[in-house]
Amino acid sequence: MSAVLHKPSTVSEPLAAAGAKRGGPRGRLAPYLFILPALVLFAAFKLYPIGWSFVLSLHKTVGGVDTFVGGENYRRLVDDPLFWTALKNTAVVLAVQVPVMLALATGLAVALNSAILRGRSVFRLGFFLPMVTGLVAYGIMFSVLLHQEYGLVNWFLGLFGSDGIPWLTDPLWAKISIGFVLTWHYTGYNAVILLARLQTVPAELYDAAAVDGAGPWHSFRHVTLPGLRPALLLTTVLSTIGTLQLFDEPYILTGGGPDNATLTIGVYLYQTAFKYFDFGYASAIAYVLAVLIGLLGIVQFRVLGDRS
Amino acid sequence: MNVSPVNTPRGIDRRRLLQLGGALAATTSLAACSGSGSAGTGGAGDKNKGSLTVWSWQGPATALKALVPEFRRKHPGIEVTVEDIGNPAIWDKITTAMAAGGEGLADVLHIGVDYLPGYTEKFPEGLADLGELGAAKYRGAFAPGLWRTVSPTGSRVNALPWEANSAGFWYRADLFEKAGVDAGALATWDDVVEAGKKIKADTGTRLIGIDKPASQADAANFFQMLLQLQGAFYFNADGDITLDSPEAVRAMKIIKRMNDSGLVSDFSGGWNTMVSSLKKSTVAVQPMPTWFGGVIEREVPQQKGKWRVQLPPAVRPGGSRSATVNSTHLAVAGSSPHQAAAWTFVEYVLTRPASQARIYRDQAIAPALMKAYDDAAFHEPSAYFGGQKRGEVFLKALKAPSPSFTYSSDYARALKVVTDAQTRVLLKGADPAGALHDAADRLGKQTGRKVVR
């Protein structure tokens, strides 16, 4: 940074004069000083841990001593069946839950934007509220609701003669429960983002579509959806990142079980670091996860982004 | 999933990449903040002065709190705050604090035998050497085998033993009677399975409860007890993996038979579910260690007179009926600036027979301190347990020779593969031998330990 600050001026005469008018070198220093606090914080709390975790990922701790092992942790990852299980579980959530949730959020945004809906702000608040519920609090709430023998949901189903569903204790149902909980928590949040974008779509476009004879479906398909495109990209990318980092819900509801059916990369990373004290291997998992998120993000920008 | 949006994106520009980068940073820094190693930044301090924080859980925490006022009368210079962190939450809390070099760690830590080797191996300076503070003179004071647990090399003393828990067989005498089953006549666990079928048929109550989907780390407690009754464990004395031994397969087969006969209630959800089950009387037997008596008395006072206890039946005819299934310990944090004062507290709690007798009366926690058993508290008939002298039941087990078990620093990993195997057996009908074979292989791969067959 100091190299930048003390760089001798090589700009041409008129520009240099303009610079002098703004206060010369001191004027050029000011913006850097303004971003300095943010930069220092970023370096201390983001850059340093990112760098250090990479160093960690190349080490193995044996008997309290860190030894350099190069890429061994990464090689170990390749034939670690639990890592692949975690990746597969995450992919299932990504492929099933995220599209369903975003479709619901889009429908919800359109409904909340509708002029005929009364008490709109109440509904908006209602759907957004799950988002501000503490993760642990709602995790515990759902574990009480979904308990097979003592849960409220199965008690309710019991009124209709059902034997009760093993919500959290059957591998398949546990996956479905996690998906259900995620949807409950994040649909409203995504709907609000989409709604904000929806309100910027000019009404004239709908009028024009109506004049051209488009019904509700066609104006949704050809006006609403293209208008929502940037917000859809944003919510898709955010949901993808969130899903890949999925941790709280499986951690609290199922602990990654039963038999690793809801093990996510986040939960596996946590177990490796804080249950098995294997910080080097956990860092390697974190790096692979980061690269995956980066790659998926780029793909999504390419597919959904503006081509202009 | 809480990355806040800043702008509406249009394509990949620098700002977008930065946002993406921020999200990545959040991932990688999760692992990095763990750091490694730990600094023993603490010091001895004054042995009669200081302000101590103690971490424990549930019953033991309550017992410690009750002991503080009389400790303060003797040592007015030392302030003690006992915090009930909860179990299993306490293990994660200790790990993260140690990984942060002792930042935010309490001065005195209550640590189970299952976690002690892991902490001492991963954080060599995490716990103070109590030998330097004067612990060595208590070498012979505790139940046989326990000194090796707290001082594996014989030089450093990582902790001092508190509880010595023996395997127990707590049962509902009223339900047994109703089904015409004589608990005293149950010689092996095969007999128990047959008795369980009768109890279920006559009273509708299941035999035992297991956390089938392994929602908690300790879901395999019963399996582990059956293993320990046979003198076997997940690791042998050399630290090699033995979790698919014939003993282990035998234990898992017993569990599978119980499950296939519909005798196992699902305790998924862990502790709270178990307590609900106690209150609703959904199981007839709780194969739990010594400390469980205190839990029953506290949680279901209305069931007074219905419970009895005996040592568990043997796994094979003529086999052992006693095993010291686990122990817990008090340790002093290496980062504590009041190590000497912390030792004063630990010494007061763990080496004074009167302290241990009081804890036993209060919470029914069985001490490892052998001299404590001279106290009348351990020989009185208990009104709750129908006049049984339950203290003597377990004292007999404690005095019987019990092999010591190697938990190793990979116990948490072993537990994970074992509970996964048990889940496969209980929920998917997997074959016990095959499931344990896979588990042993998986553990070997994860830890680099040899699998002995």
Count of residues in chain A: 308
B32, B213, B424: residue with CB nearest A169: B213
| Per-residue pLDDT reduced to its tens digit, A17-47 | 444 455 556 668 888 899 999 999 999 999 9
Residue with tokens 């109703």: B178
- Show residues of chain A in contact with B3, CB under 8 Å: 238, 241-242
Structure tokens at A154: 């199965």
CB A193 within 8 A of CB A235: yes
CB of B429 less than 8 A from some CB of A: no
Is B263 in a helix, a strand, or coil? coil
Is A12 in a helix, a strand, or coil? coil
- Write out the DSSP string of A203-214: HHHHHHHHHTT-
- Interface contact flag, A174 B213, Cβ < 8 Å: yes
- Write out the DSSP string of B297-344: HHH-GGGTTTEEEEPPPBSSTT-----EEEEEEEEEBTT-TTHHHHHH
Helix-helix angle B246-260:B411-428, to 10 degrees: 40
Q: What is the mean pLDDT of residues A131-143?
A: 84
Q: Which helix (H) or strand (E) holds B113?
A: none
Q: Which of B2, B12, B20, B34 to mutate to test the interface with A (most CBs of A within 10 A)?
A: B34
Compute and round to an integer the Cα radius of gyration of chain B: 24
Number of helices (H) and strands (E) in chain B: give both, helices first.
17, 10
Q: Where are the domains of chain B?
A: 50-165+325-378, 169-321+407-447
Sign of CA dihedral A236, A241, A245, A249: negative
B86 to chain A nearest CA, in Å?
15
| Mean pLDDT, chain B, integer | 88
Whole-number Cα distances in Å, B147 to A116, B142, B224, B327, B384: 76, 7, 22, 11, 34
> B50-165+325-378 has which fold?
D-Maltodextrin-Binding Protein; domain 2 (3.40.190)
CB B59 within 8 A of CB B30: no
CB B283 within 8 A of CB B265: yes
* A73 → chain B, closest CA residue: B446
Q: What is the CATH number of domain B169-321+407-447?
A: 3.40.190.10
ipTM higher than threshold 0.85: no
* B124 → chain A, closest CA residue: A64
CB of B16 less than 8 A from some CB of A: yes
Structure tokens at A294: 């980066």
Which one-letter DSSP state was computed for residue B185? Answer: G
φ, ψ at B80 (rounded to 5°): -130, 125
Per-residue pLDDT of chain B (453 residues; tens, 9 = 90+): 333 333 333 344 444 444 444 444 444 444 444 333 333 456 788 888 999 999 999 999 999 999 999 999 999 999 999 999 998 889 889 988 998 888 899 999 999 998 999 899 888 889 999 999 999 999 989 987 889 889 988 889 999 999 999 999 999 999 999 999 999 999 999 999 999 999 999 999 999 999 998 888 889 999 999 999 999 999 998 899 999 999 999 999 999 999 999 999 988 878 888 998 999 999 999 999 999 998 999 999 999 999 999 999 999 999 999 998 989 999 999 999 999 999 999 999 999 999 999 999 888 899 999 999 999 999 999 999 999 999 999 999 988 877 778 888 899 899 999 999 999 999 989 999 999 999 999 999 988 899 998
Q: Which helix (H) or strand (E) holds B154?
A: none
Compare A146 and B159 and report the one with higher pLDDT: B159
Structure tokens at B158: 């990582």
Scanning A235-274 for CB atoms below 8 A from B yields 237-239, 241-246, 248, 254-255, 257-260, 269, 271, 273-274
Q: Which helix (H) or strand (E) holds B265?
A: strand B264-266
Q: How far is CA B129 from the centre of its chain?
A: 23
> Are B50-165+325-378 and B169-321+407-447 in the same CATH fold?
yes
CB pairs under 8 A between A and B: 194
- Cα B290 from Cα B360, distance rounded (Å): 11
| Per-residue pLDDT reduced to its tens digit, A192-207 | 999 999 999 888 888 8
Distance spanning both ends of chain B, measured CA to CA: 45
- Cα B418 from Cα B410, distance rounded (Å): 12
Structure tokens at A109: 């945004």
* Amino acid letter for position A33: L
Whole-number Cα distances in Å, B57 to A252, B62, B411: 20, 8, 20
Structure tokens at A133: 């519920």
B440 to chain A nearest CA, in Å?
14
- Any bridge partners for residue B79, and if so which? B51
Give me the pLDDT at residue B131, please. Answer: 93
Percentage above 70 pLDDT, chain A: 90
- Write out the DSSP string of A177-238: HHHHHHHHHHHHHHHHHHHHHHTTS-HHHHHHHHHTT--HHHHIIIIIHHHHHHHHHHHHHH
- Cα B100 from Cα B104, distance rounded (Å): 8
φ, ψ at B336 (rounded to 5°): -70, 135
CB A264 within 8 A of CB A179: no
Which domains, and CATH codes, for chain A?
Answer: 1-34 (no CATH), 78-304 (1.10.3720.10)
Residue with tokens 């930048």: A4
- Write out the DSSP string of A109-172: HHHHH-TT-SSHHHHHHHHHHHHHS-HHHHHHHHHHHT-TTT-HHHHHHHTTT-----TTTSHH
Looking at the whole model, is its pTM more than 0.90? no
Max CA pair span of chain A: 88
Residue with tokens 């190590």: B339
Sign of CA dihedral A189, A138, B57, B268: negative
Edge-first strand listing for the sheet containing B307-310: B285-286, B169-172, B307-310
